[in-house]
Chains A and B, each alone.
Chain A
Amino acid sequence: MARFTPKVVTANALIEGDVIYLTADDRWTRLHHEAELIEDEAHAQLRLLHAMAQKSVAVGAYLADAKAGPNGPEPTHFREVFRTRGPSNYFLGKQAELV
């Protein structure tokens, strides 16, 4: 069986639409590196169900590939990298708000 690629649970916030991540202590954070890095497939499914149940907070929750980094989980796919910062044509979105 293929080895499970670690995941984070991510979604968009209901009101702002901003990208959010589920933390190990059941908070939603705007920062990828604060997310819970999930290394077990069964646990990932449970966490996703937990996220999907929060209908008034998070929209469109899904599992995104990630890897461990020095400061916490890091995205691996470029789409997820873009989601951690915002568009490349303007300094707007997370990259501006989290400075």
Chain B
Amino acid sequence: MYNYSEFDESFVRARVAQFSHQVERRIDGSLTEEEFRPLRLMNGLYLQLHAYMLRVAIPYGTLNPRQMRQLAHIAQTWDKGYGHFTTRQNIQFNWPKLSDVPKMLSALADVGMHAIQTSGNCVRNVTADHFAAAAADEIEDPRPYAELLRQWSTDHPEFQFLPRKFKIAITGAAQDRAVTAAHDIGLRIVKNDAGETGFQVLVGGGLGRTPMVAMTVRDFLPVEDLLPYVEAVLSVYNTLGRRDNKYKARIKITLHETGKEEITRMIEARFAELRPLFGGNDQALLADIREAFAPPAFRNAPVDAYDAFYKADPVFRAWADTNLAQHRNDQYAIVTISLKAHGQTPGDATADQMRVMADLAERYGHNELRVSHEQNVILPHVHKSDLPAVHAALMQAGLGTANVGLISDIIACPGMDYCALATARAIPVAQEIATRFDALKLEHDVGPLKIKISGCINACGHHHVGHIGILGLDRAGVENYQITLGGDGTEDAVIGERAGPGFAYDEIVPAIERIVLAYLDLRESPEETFLQAYRRVGLPPFKAALYPGEGNRDAA
């Protein structure tokens, strides 16, 4: 993986020194909160409900074991012993003291990490497919491009004060695991008719209060045009984007207000101006970056032990069936470590668990870890013969839950348990749904089902693209939960449909149960997934299950 160059290192160190002085000046009273706030946000430091929160970027979700151990060390030394992995491939520490934050940033810099541009109206952490360089269905590893974009966007002088935040996601595979269609720019690596590699460029996706699926503005962008083209998109947005209204400031609104044809014309015109200014240094840099992402030296060894264990041990088999994905190398598997033990907080890992994952990556995983937007951790390259040992170690650490892709593998934002913007809690709803379906022993029977929960309209929990989405709101001083159905965050992205009036906190889990039982009743076979069934029958039967009294009233 990419290691910091001298330039990256000195830039990050300089920023830590600068922010340390700013913290000192805030504490001694030379800076007011109004002056300090934009400075702390530039460095990923928020003030939330109960404490500060430090958001650390995990670029394109890739970590090495040393970095994971450092996150554990930070959690234990300056926080309360755990960290929260987020839907944007970041990690958040929920309890830092202001006076400790410079030490935390310094510890991050020691392992080539930082919290720069994890907040504010700038280009945020560039996210990528968490199975990058391992997935069997991949055209090319998207991470060298993500790293190129990271270097280009970090402290880019033109794009530090955009109308609003700007999120870029990239995938190199046919199956979109990076939710590219819900980003300001989504990049999908494709091949053209001549067999050349390039990008399908999507613009204007986003969830939040106005959820929109991105539009394709270029079907095929040659690889060498990536930076000038992305710069053209941002440049047009920076000029046109609205600064008068926060809720209309994202590029999705700009695109809809300007029209796809006109904005595409403007992007292409700006691109024509910018393209000649890129003299090839970016391509030389890209070539260097690519070398850093060379595939590991895969082992060639028998996999009989795995096959035998799979047959013999039902617990291992259940885990293998849900938590393993196909690797491009037949002897290998991609391991998803579930951070969704039933009843636990989605995306949380203790310092000890982080160390176990780091050890496993070192011993069995070619020193690679990934963090997914679905709030799990991935060992992308594990030889199948090592899987029984990996599974045993995970079980011991409370990380062996066999539920990836199932009903308890829930995405949930921190909600009103932490976040100052939240209008309702999200975490306990996720905990209770997982606990309930575990008690019913139904989740393996139900099969693939993505529940996503947000604690406010900003939709950090991606509820619009959940097969079942839950949005927590404040209705006249009481928590209330709206349900959307049929959302999909893959390459065929769809925004879910609102099912009807919301439910109180103590009614939401039973409501979800009614939806799931209705699905089990109406599916044509166990092979028909929830989403397929929903697409076949639509909202009405689920609505009937959700609001059982209503039909009778209509009939009366």
Contacts and interface: CB of A to CB of B under 8 A. Distances in A.
The reply to whether chain A is a binding partner of chain B is yes
A55 B27 CA distance: 9
A15 B50 contact: no
Interface string B389-430: 000000000000000000000000000111000000101100
B42 interface: no
Q: Chain A interface: which size bin?
A: 20 to 34
A-B pairs with the 9 shortest C-beta distances?
A87-B417, A17-B51, A17-B52, A56-B29, A93-B50, A89-B345, A89-B427, A88-B428, A15-B98
B98 A60 contact: no
A92 B27 CA distance: 25
A55 B32 contact: yes
Contact of B417 (A15, A16, A82): A82
Q: Chain B interface: which size bin?
A: 20 to 34
Given A88-B417, A88-B428, A92-B95, A16 B27 contact: no
B47 interface: yes
Interface string A81-94: 01100111110111
Interface in B320-356: 345, 348
A59 B33 contact: yes
B50 A78 contact: no
13 contacts: A16-B51, A17-B97, A18-B51, A55-B32, A55-B33, A56-B27, A60-B33, A76-B477, A78-B474, A78-B479, A89-B348, A89-B431, A90-B80
A14 interface: yes
A37 interface: no
Nearest to B425: A88
Interface in B28-53: 28-29, 32-33, 47-52
Contacts of B258: none
B95 to A, nearest CB: 7
A55 B29 contact: yes
Candidate in B48, B98, B479 with the most chain A CB atoms within 10 angstroms? B98
Given A56-B27, A87-B418, A89-B428, A14 B49 contact: no
Contacts of B425: 82, 88
Interface in A61-94: 76-79, 82-83, 86-90, 92-94
Interface of B: 26-29, 32-33, 47-52, 80, 94-99, 345, 348, 416-418, 425, 427-428, 431, 474, 477-479
Contact of B50 (A14, A55, A56, A83): A83
Interface in A3-59: 12, 14-19, 55-56, 59
A78 to B, nearest CB: 6
Nearest to A55: B32
A82 B420 CA distance: 11
B78 to A, nearest CB: 12
Interface of A: 12, 14-19, 55-56, 59-60, 76-79, 82-83, 86-90, 92-94
B50 A94 contact: yes
Nearest to A15: B98
Nearest to B51: A17
A26 to B, nearest CB: 18
Contacts of A18: 50-51
B99 A15 contact: yes
B51 A78 contact: no
A87 B80 CA distance: 13
Nearest to B431: A89
A89 B453 CA distance: 15
A86 B51 CA distance: 9
A17 B27 contact: no
B49 A83 contact: yes
A89 B417 CA distance: 7
A60 B417 contact: no
Contacts of B96: 17
B32 A17 contact: no
B29 A78 contact: no
B97 A16 contact: yes
B27 A14 contact: yes
Given A88-B425, A89-B417, 17 more contacts: A15-B27, A15-B98, A15-B99, A16-B97, A17-B52, A17-B96, A19-B49, A19-B50, A56-B28, A60-B47, A78-B478, A78-B479, A79-B416, A83-B49, A87-B427, A90-B80, A90-B345
Contacts of B33: 55, 59-60
Given A17-B50, A59-B33, A83-B49, A78 B477 contact: yes
A6 B152 CA distance: 52
A73 B28 CA distance: 33
B271 to A, nearest CB: 43
A83 B416 CA distance: 9
A3 to B, nearest CB: 17
Given A87-B417, A87-B418, A12 B47 contact: yes
A17 B47 CA distance: 7
A17 B98 contact: yes
Contacts of A56: 27-29
Candidate in A19, A82, A89 with the most chain B CB atoms within 10 angstroms? A89
Contacts of B32: 55
A94 B26 CA distance: 25
Contacts of A94: 50
A77 to B, nearest CB: 5
B96 to A, nearest CB: 8
Nearest to A85: B50
A47 B314 CA distance: 65
A82 B431 CA distance: 18
B481 to A, nearest CB: 13
